[in-house]
């Protein structure tokens, strides 16, 4: 019998982050009692990252100017170079 929670995470939501400038940071945050940073990626302009919410990842933070594609639509984050 498959663990339903494990199945849910294996089929978790995805996002796509497309950097619109150099130095965009994508930060994975943990789930649980204390939210902690567990993974970071730095993207340069034009680079794309596909990320998934998992058993470990409960939130994804994007720092810098980027297009973020989700099942809810597209969000454009602001540049930090203001």
Q: Which two tokens stand for residue 62?
A: 């994007």
Between CA 61 and CA 36 the distance in angstroms is 12
Asked, for residue 81, whether it belongs to a domain, the answer is: no
Residue 1 pLDDT > 80: no
Sheet containing 24-30: order of strands:
37-43, 24-30, 57-63
Residue 78 DSSP SS3: coil
pTM of the model: 0.79
Residue 27 pLDDT > 60: yes
Asked, for residue 82, whether it belongs to a domain, the answer is: no
What is the length of the chain?
82
Asked, for residue 34, whether it belongs to a domain, the answer is: yes
Q: Tell me the residue range of the domain where 17 lies.
A: 4-76
Query: Structural domain tally of the chain?
Result: 1
Asked, for residue 31, whether it belongs to a domain, the answer is: yes
DSSP 73: E
């Amino acid at each position: 019998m498959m663990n339903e929670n494990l199945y849910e995470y294996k089929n978790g939501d995805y996002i796509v982050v497309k950097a619109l400038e150099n130095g965009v940071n994508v930060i994975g945050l943990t789930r649980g009692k204390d939210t902690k940073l567990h993974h970071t990626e730095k993207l340069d302009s034009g680079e794309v990252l596909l990320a998934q919410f998992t058993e470990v990842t409960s939130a994804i933070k994007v720092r810098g100017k980027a297009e973020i594609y989700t099942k809810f639509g597209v969000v454009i984050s602001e540049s930090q170079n203001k």
